[in-house]
Each structure stands twice: as structure tokens, then as C-alpha cells.
Amino acid sequence: TQLLEQSPQFLSIQEGENLTVYCNSSSVFSSLQWYRQEPGEGPVLLVTVVTGGEVKKLKRLTFQFGDARKDSSLHITAAQPGDTGLYLCAGPNNDMRFGAGTRLTVKP
């Protein structure tokens, strides 16, 4: 059982659509991070959320940390093919624990 559960596992959408992916846990985290990993490369940090209820925006990406600091969401507005990749959430737990990821494909 993953400490961090991500959903959906796979998502395929058309360019211009909006989407939300989720990261849930039964544990409280001091912070959560979101990464994007493209094929053949290592994960790249997108954002770190620290405060319960915090919302951070990165261009068309909006990240939210749950009030209880057990969950987080990533919303992408008007998705583009360049958003294609594996989106991973991660939280500190002695070591850094990762969810299994959401594999997003945005078709032109």
C-alpha cells in the first residue's frame, strides 16, 4: 500500500481541456511536493506546499494543499501537449515518499 495514493493513474485528454489530479494520504505531512517527469528524464520539482489550505499558482497550474495536510490537488487549465508527462506527489516521512503518479497525455 502506497503512503501517498494518486488518482487517476492515467489520464488522456484533448488540448484545451481542464483537468485535476489528486494526491491523498491517511497521514499528515509537513509539506507536499509535486514533480513532473518526462520520458527519459528525472523528476523535476514544480512546487512545494507547506501550509494547510495553501493554494499556489504556476501559470496554468494550480496546486492546493488540504486543510488537514493529508491531501493535495493539481489543476491544469487549458492543457497543452507540453503538459504531457508523469505527475508525482511526494512528502517527507523520514525519507521522501512518492506516489505512483498520474500519467497525463494531452493530445493536440
Partner 1 sequence: KAGVTQTPRYLIKTRGQQVTLSCSPISGHRSVSWYQQTPGQGLQFLFEYFSETQRNKGNFPGRFSGRQFSNSRSEMNVSTLELGDSALYLCASSLGAGRASGNTIYFGEGSWLTVV
- Residues in contact with partner 1 by CB under 8 A are 2, 30-31, 33, 35, 40-45, 48, 50, 88, 90, 92-101
The nearer residue to partner 1, 28 or 78, going by C-beta atoms, is 28
Nearer to partner 1, 94 or 108 (CB): 94
Cβ burial of 59 (10 Å; 0-12, 13-18, 19+) is exposed
Nearer to partner 1, 36 or 61 (CB): 36
**Are the C-beta atoms of 88 and 35 separated by less than 8 Å?**
yes
Gap between the Cα atoms of 60 and 71, Å rounded: 20
Tell me how far, at minimum, the Cβ of 30 lies from partner 1, in Å.
Answer: 6
